[in-house]
Every structure is written in C-alpha cells, then in structure tokens.
Amino acid sequence: MASTPGSDAALPPVQLDPLAAVLSYLIPGLGQIYQGRVGKGLLFFGGLYLLFFYGMWMGQWKNVWMPDATELPDVAIAGQNLGGAAKSVAYRWQFLGQFWIGIAAWPAVYQYAVFDKTKDAGPIFGKFQRMPDEKELNELQRNGNKRWDLGWVYTVIAGVLNLLVIYDALAGPMFREPPAVQPPAESATASAGPYVPPPPRATEGPEAAPAPGWPPVPPPPASSATGGS
C-alpha cells in the first residue's frame, strides 16, 4: 500500500500548557475553552458540575467539608504524626477527591481555616460546606436513606474525573496534525520535458537527404593487426 505524503513524518513534540491546566482546575473545561476547544470545554464544564452539585444536593448540601481534627486522636504515617489540614484529610479522605473539582470546593477550605466550634455558622458562607456537628451528622446518616453516602460518592467521582480534564488541558489535543512535507524537487530530466522523437524524413525529392548527423553513423570496424600483403 502506497504511503501518502506526510504519513511518515514525525509528529511535533508535545508542548505543555500549564496555564490551561490551572484554568481547568479552577473551573472544569475552562482550559479547553482557552485553547479554542470550546465544545469539549463546555462538555466538561456541564458534565462534571452536574455530577458534583447533584451529589451535593443528594447529601442535602452537607457532604463536602473538612473536619476540625484538633481534638481527635493523632494519625501517624511513617512514624510521623500528621497535623493541620493533613490530619483533617486523614479523617475525611473523601475531600482529597472532592478538592480537584476546583473553586467549587474552596468554601470547605475556607470554612476549615476559620472554623469556630463556639459558633453555628462561618462568617461568609454560613453553613455551606461547613463541618456539621455530631448530632446533625448522625441524623444525616440515619435518616438519609443512603442518599447522603451516595451523594458524596458522586462528588468524589467528579473531582477525580477533573484530574483527567486537567491533564487533557496540560498536554493538549490527543490527535495532532503532522508537519507539512515539501514535495521533492524535480530532477533535471523531468524539468526538460518529455522526449520528442525527430520528425519523419521524406522519401523522395531534395527533402530525402538525411539531416546532418542523423541518423548517427556507426564507426568503421577496426582493421586486423595481421592483415595486408
């Protein structure tokens, strides 16, 4: 099977786009829209946000949060006790997946940073993505009819899927056009044009005389070295 021009050409090297990756982390699909892939960006935006916020709705908007772990038992990894946000995530690992949905999960980080157990709500977002108290959490798990647990599963899936969206924005399109290949230069023989035979000669009259140098006359045979008397 004959190869088409440019089929053997090497693909251009992958050019990473960190800015597009950051944009797709902040809002799913925003990096693809920035790159001009508007249809794919809108698909990612609508699909992942629908999955994430539908999961929050199933959990009565109380399944995305970071717990205050200051009074909880220590968590050690490789002999080192975790503290701060690392300890909080260790007690609620679900947020490690939810975090990758971008700014939609940032209120939980803010609520964790300004958490005050003496108050019922945070200063800006109120109770949105704030750790529920123990009584409220028990009611959610007891009366939620599995919807609360299933809801946070949806939010985690949305966050993990956005990791693929971020990578797609970082590495660019999966299929890339090979570089254009210039056609090979024509040889001197091809540029001279096709071979044209000489015109036929007349068989009678003065035109019957052969043209000078045509047809070529073969050289006489070489004389014998032993000939002669």
For position 217, what pLDDT does the model report? 62
Residue 229 — pLDDT band, cuts 50, 70, 90? Answer: very low
> Residue 23: how many CB atoms within 10 A of its CB?
22
Mean pLDDT over 99-117 rounds to 95
pLDDT tens readout for residues 1-29:
455 555 555 666 778 999 999 999 999 99
| Chain position carrying tokens 């006790």 | 81
* C-alpha atoms less than 13 angstroms from C-alpha of 2 in its C-beta half-sphere: 2
- For 57, phi then psi, to 5°, come to -65, -40
Residue 193 — pLDDT band, cuts 50, 70, 90? Answer: low
Q: Higher confidence at residue 222 or residue 152?
A: 152
Residue 77 — pLDDT band, cuts 50, 70, 90? Answer: confident
pTM (two decimals): 0.70
CA angle 71, 72, 77 (to 5 degrees): 130
DSSP 143: H
For 149, the token pair is 């647990």
For position 34, what pLDDT does the model report? 96
pLDDT tens readout for residues 20-62:
999 999 999 999 999 999 999 999 999 999 999 999 999 999 9
